[in-house]
Chain A
Amino acid sequence: MGLAIDVRDLRKSFGDFEALKGTTFSVEESEIFGLIGPNGAGKTTTLRVLGTLISPTSGVAEVFGHDVVKEAGKIREILSYLPEDAGAYQYLSGEEYLRFMAGFYARERSAVEEMVQAGKDISGLGDRLKDRVNGYSRGMKRRLLIARALMIKPKLAILDEPTSGLDVIQAYHVRGMIKDYAENMGVTILVSSHNMLEVEYLCHKVALINEGNIISEGTPEELKARYNAVNLEQAFMEATQLG
C-alpha cells in the first residue's frame, strides 16, 4: 500500500499569523486517519491545503503523489471534501443536489444515476430526498452532505468535523455511515474532530495537532499507551502538557 497523503514541513501564514508551523504527517491508502486538536490548532487549515482550497506558504503536501499546488486539478478528480460548516443549495431538492454533484464526476447518464442511487442509499433519507433542502433539519443536511462526499467513491475523502452540531443519535448514525463505507469501499478518509471518542471509534491512526504542529502520532492504542492515558482526551492533555 502506498501513501495517500504526504505532508512535510507544511507552513501556512495569513498575514502575520502563522497557522501551520512545519506540520508533518502521512496517511496510508485505505486508512481512516484522525486529526485532533483544539480550536485554532491548524486542523481546518491543513484540510483546506489538502483540499486544494488554499496554497501552502512553504513545504510539501501531496495527495496520491500529486502536488496540491501544481496538480490541483488531478487531486480534485479523486478527492471529496466536506467542510465543517458546509451547506447544500437550499432551493434544490436533496435528489437534485446529489444529481448536480454527480454530474461533475461522471459524464454518462447511467454512471450519474448510479452515483445518485449510491448517495440515496448512504444518506438513508428515503422519500425526504424529494423535498427541498431548506426544509431539512441539521442532521438531515449533514447526512445528505456526507452522502454527497462518499457517493462518488473518492480515493480520498476529507471530512472536517463530520458530526459537528449533531445530536447523539444523529452523530451515531453518521459515524456508522462513515465507518461502514470506508470498510466496504476501501476509501482513504482524513477526519478532523474535537470529539476524541469519535476519533477513537473511527480512526486507524491519529495525529494530535496543537498550535500548527503535530505533537504526536500513532494508533489510538499507541497514543494511550505512550501517555499512560485511559482515553485519547487524556492522552491529548498529557501530550500538550495541559493536563
Chain B
Amino acid sequence: MDLKKTIQQIESLPSPDFVLQKIVDTANNPSASAKDLNEVASKDPAFVAKILKLANSAYYGLPRNVSKLTEAIMILGFKTVRNMALSIFTNKEFFNFESKELNLKEFWKHSIVVATIGELTAEKIGYSNKEELFMCGLLHDIGKSVQGVLFPGLLDAIVKLAKTKKISYYEAEKLLEIPTHEIFAEILVEKWNFPELVLISASRHHRPDSMRNSIYSDPVNIITLSTFIAERMGLGDNGGGRHIDVPKYCWDELGFTPVLFDELIASVEDKVRKIDEFMNIQGE
C-alpha cells in the first residue's frame, strides 16, 4: 500500500461544509453567541431541519418542540448541537460505502452507542466535559470508515479475518500488516483541523496506555471502556470478532465501582432505547 497515495486519497474525502464548519467553530469559540448562527442556518435549511428533528427526538426529551437553531442551542447547548450536526454529516459521508462483510447500519449504531456511552460515562464518573465525549465516541472508528470508503475490499478482508479468527478488528489489521484504522483516522481528523481531543481518541483508543500520563488520559480511557461496553452489550457491530482488551487501570483510574457500573449500564439501556432518530438520521 502506497502511503503517500493513500494520504492523497484521504485528502480527497469530503470535509465539513461551511455550515457544519461554522457550527463546529462556534462550539469552540467562547464569545460565539447563539444569535450568530441564525444567518448561517439560513444557508442550509435542509441541514438545519435534520438538526431540529434530532433535537426534538426522544433522545433529548425536551418538554416542547424546538423550531429554531438558536433555541436548540440555548436549550441543549452549543456542543450538543454540534454533536448532532457532526452525526448528520459523518453518517451521510462515511457510513455510506459498499461492504459485503460489515453491516453499515450496525456499524453506525456502534458509533452512536459508543458516543452515548461516552457521554453517560463522563456524567457518571463526574468528568465535567461530557459533550466532548459524545463527539469522540461518534468519531472514534472514523478510520474504519475511511478504509471502507477508499478500499472497500480491504475493510471486508479485515472484517472477514477478524470474524473468522474471532479476533478484534485491530488485531486483524496487525495480522495483515496494514496501516491501522487509527492511522487513517489520524490523517483525516488532522485534515479537518478538529480539536486535538478528537484526534487522540480516534487514533489511540486501542492504545490507551500511550496517553496514560497526558491530559487526555481520562477521555481516551472513557472511549476505550465505552467501546468495550458497547461490544459486551451487543449494541451494533464494529467489525471485530471478539471484544477489545481493556487494561485494568482504565477502570481504576476512572474510579469505577460495581455500583457505579450498574447505574451506568441501566442509564445506557434507557438511552439506547431512544436512538431511533439517530438511526434514521437522514430522514426518509
Are A and B associated in one complex?
Answer: no
